[in-house]
Amino acid sequence: MKNKILLRFFFSAVLISSFTVILLTGQPAAAPGWRAGLAKAVITPQEPMWMAGYASRDHESEGVLTDLWIKVLVLQDAKGKKAVLITSDLLGYPKKLSEQIRNQISVKYGLTRSQIILSCSHTHTGPVIDGALFDIYPLDARQREVIRKYSAEISRKIVDLTGEAIKNLAPASLYSQNGVVRFQVNRRNNTEATVNLINDMNGPNDYAVPVLKVLDNKGNMLAVAFGYSCHATVLSFYQFSGDYPGFAQLELEKLYPGTTAMFFQGAGADQNPLPRRTVPLAKQYGKELAAAVERVLSEEMKQLEPGLSTAYSEIDLKFASPPSEEELMKIEKESTGYLKSWATSQLKILKDKGSLRTSYPYPVQVWKLGSQPVFAFGGELVIQYSSDIKKIFGPDVFIMGYVNDDMAYIPSETILKEGGYEGESSMRVYGLPASWAPGIEETIINEMKKLAAKAGISEVQDVKK
């Protein structure tokens, strides 16, 4: 009898609560949905620093064109599962710093690596980060200490901003769609010097502009996260800037006051903005990209149901045969610049450890936001991987490169065979012992298929037949 009375009391309370909501709002009580939280901070260096991206630079920065930012978007689905998207105006995160940041986020906020995407725009007018591409920069002890302190501050800010974004979680709705813009040029097949004379561009491309829109419960836009597959290399001077992605974000935040615009780099390792080298061109490309996003935001977008699944793994990618001690000694003796530094560092590794590394733990990651698949790859990803994934999972998937660890170029099998900068020599710029072993493309795509299945993402039907 007592249990029946309690049960009647419970249902009466639920009914009273529901009727109260209807009376006050005119609408039934909403089912649990997405929640979103945002936080951001300026990360522009406050003193001259060595700038990242070009080995030809010979001195520290000379001022600021535009501020650099870190922006954090935390999403939570109807069941309470969270995902953290971190975007930044930086060249890339080396493994040690990335692991430090993600480990601290995991410990402080109870998230796994699969729930954290740490991305960068790959701007070549940002600061050098501790442990990234050190062989190509002639840094003295003072400059290294400045870089170390700056990198430690970046790590602290990202962790704190993630906590701030979690505290800011509030009801939201999510929408996705792909746009298009066409200023990327395949740099392996079209030279910068002759691009103005060419009518037909050669080589593979992917002009997609993935767009994720986040609205609050009143329909106001909280954030727009968008991407493009193209090197952020319009500018090569000595002033800090976000390059064309920075100008695109500024333009969108001007168009939509109160909105946080977040850029993520795609599979742009073999794509350049051409022509380039001037600030007006960087602004132009930024406005073109912003216009592509604005068009998508103005049209009907796919609403995403409040369900989140994530998957992550690290593949043991093999290197080809490393150079011998004699070969390294010859390079050290006969070379200058970063090649000499690379040979010296490899000889030190050989002396200290007895051998050079034979593989690398390469990170890959998949999110499913409602019905929107997101595929995230580490390293400087070439455009072929975007084509591969879209053939398997459909043209509307989102592709991210330069995520979680920027350890090297990730060439396709074709580029690996052809060699050149993306296929071979860039490995030395990154301080790795040799080029990747054959089979890299198939290995990575097969792992992505496994992660997609784990996250509940199906292959398109015509691929299976």
pLDDT digits (tens, 9 = 90+) for 312-365: 999 999 999 889 999 999 998 988 888 888 899 899 999 999 999 999 999 999
Name the β-bridge partners of 364.
313, 377
CA dihedral over 323, 326, 327, 331, signed as positive or negative: positive
Check if the beta carbon of residue 465 is closer than 8 Å to that of residue 438: no
Which pLDDT does position 198 carry in this prediction? 63
Check if the beta carbon of residue 127 is closer than 8 Å to that of residue 54: no
Distance CA(373)–CA(237), nearest Å, equals 37
Residue 365's contacts (CB-CB under 8 Å, 6 or more residues apart) are 113, 114, 117, 310, 311, 312, 313, 375, 376, 377, 403, 404, 451
251's tokens: 């333009």
Distance CA(125)–CA(440), nearest Å, equals 30
Phi, psi of 357, rounded to the nearest 5 degrees: -65, 150
Residue 76's contacts (CB-CB under 8 Å, 6 or more residues apart) are 34, 35, 36, 37, 82, 83, 169, 308
Which pLDDT does position 134 carry in this prediction? 67
Do the bridges between strand 69-76 and strand 82-88 make them parallel or antiparallel, or are there none, so unpaired?
antiparallel
Q: What distances in angstroms separate CA 137 from CA 127, 130, 131, 144, 208, one per listed residue?
A: 12, 12, 11, 10, 34
- Three-class DSSP category at 127: strand
Select from 274, 250, 275 the least CA-distant residue to 261: 250
Which pLDDT does position 1 carry in this prediction? 44
Q: Which amino acid, one-letter code, is at 94?
A: P
Residues of the chain with pLDDT under 70: 1-31, 134, 187-203, 462-465
Do the bridges between strand 170-180 and strand 302-304 make them parallel or antiparallel, or are there none, so unpaired?
antiparallel
Q: Which amino acid, one-letter code, is at 133?
A: L
Distance CA(360)–CA(14), nearest Å, equals 56
pLDDT digits (tens, 9 = 90+) for 184-232: 887 666 666 566 656 666 667 889 999 999 999 999 999 999 999 999 9
What is the domain partition of the chain in residue ranges? 34-311+362-411, 323-353
Which pLDDT does position 12 carry in this prediction? 46
Distance CA(204)–CA(174), nearest Å, equals 31
State the distance between the two ends of the chain, measured CA to CA, in whole angstroms. 62
Check if the beta carbon of residue 421 is closer than 8 Å to that of residue 376: no
Distance CA(19)–CA(115), nearest Å, equals 38
Asked if residue 411 has a cis previous peptide bond (ω within 30° of 0), the answer is no
Do the bridges between strand 69-76 and strand 221-228 make them parallel or antiparallel, or are there none, so unpaired?
unpaired
Distance CA(270)–CA(285), nearest Å, equals 17
